[in-house]
Chains A and B, each alone.
Chain A
Amino acid sequence: MDQQQYQQIEDQITPPTPYFKNVIKAFLVGGLICTIGHAITYFYIIFFDFTETTVGNPTAATMVFIAMILTGLGLYRKLGQFAGAGSAVPVTGFSNAVVSAAIEHKTEGLVLGVGGNIFKLAGSVIVFGVASAFFVALIKLILVTMGVVEW
């Protein structure tokens, strides 16, 4: 049996990835997480002195904190298996990536273990986040200079 024949058998038997189902699940769970985030936003606006411009920080911090607790309890992993991108894309997914790496490497000590590995997964998010932010800002600057849009 050659490679091509085998590939055929394998493709036949391997169940296809249920993209549609995954998208729906990601949409619902991701939407739910964002709704919770919005509720927290309103909570901070109404009960504390935050405006829409300044409320982002405490809201993100709260979401990160909640995801941290869930990760520690091993629940975020289960949510991730169900929701996929729905739980990975919001800031809670970033928190999960950071905290899970920290827990994992605790046994190698604080400096080389936790410190050295905490951004093992989240590091690329930061790198590409900063890089893409730079380019988006550059494009906007050019457009503003040309007078196409305003700041």
Chain B
Amino acid sequence: MKKMALALFCIPFFLFGCSGEQLVEVKNTANAEQNQNVEEVIKNSNDVYAGNAIFIDDQLLVAVQAKPWLDYKKSKIEKNLKKQIEEKYPNLEVFVSADYKLYWETQKLLEEEDEKKVSDELEKLKKLAKEET
């Protein structure tokens, strides 16, 4: 019984151990060079442990997850990332969010083949993210 309690107690520490490297996935239909840039920006950010980036038409949606203890300065992280990414892609309309909803949905969109659907979904997510209540 005591051993089991100890094991349960230790599990969270093992889980923390796994997340040393940032997980970054990029969905891009055309340009491989573009992928590299945004991946680098996300990976270089110390406040983020995971991120998804989706290129569609002239838009770029980046959904990231802030590290657990840094949740409180999410809006700052968003702002910083947005600035850095916009520097690299002056022609694209960049949208950055640290919201879990966007991260979850973009995860699903990464596998989506139909471009029309992805584009519609993106519009919907952007609208959602703007809602305050």
Contacts and interface: CB of A to CB of B under 8 A. Distances in A.
Interface of A: 42, 45-46, 49-55, 57, 150
A53 B78 CA distance: 14
A7 B25 CA distance: 70
A73 to B, nearest CB: 30
Contacts of A150: 76
Given A45-B104, A46-B104, A51 B133 contact: no
Nearest to B132: A53
A55 B128 CA distance: 11
Interface of B: 76, 99-102, 104, 124, 128-129, 131-133
Contacts of A46: 104
A53 B104 contact: no
A94 B124 CA distance: 35
Nearest to B131: A54
The B contact surface, by secondary structure, is helix
- Which of B100, B101, B124 has the most chain A CB atoms inside 10 A of its CB? B101
A46 B129 CA distance: 14
A148 to B, nearest CB: 15
A46 B124 CA distance: 15
Task: Find the residue from B100, B104, B131, B133 having the highest chain A CB count within 10 A.
Answer: B100
A4 to B, nearest CB: 48
A51 B104 contact: no
